[in-house]
Amino acid sequence: MPPSPSPPVSPAEHSAIVDAIHRALAARQESGKSGIAASVLCNGQTVAKAENEVHLHCDPTRHAEMVAITRAAEALGTTDLKQCVMISTLQPCEMCLAAMRFAGIRRVIFAATQGRVAGKYFAFPHLSLDDFRHGNDFDAIGGICEDLVLHLYATGEE
Residues with catalytic roles: 65
CB 25 within 8 A of CB 1: no
CB 114 within 8 A of CB 92: no
SS3 29: coil
Q: Which of 115, 105, 109 is CA-nearest to residue 141?
A: 109
SS3 157: coil
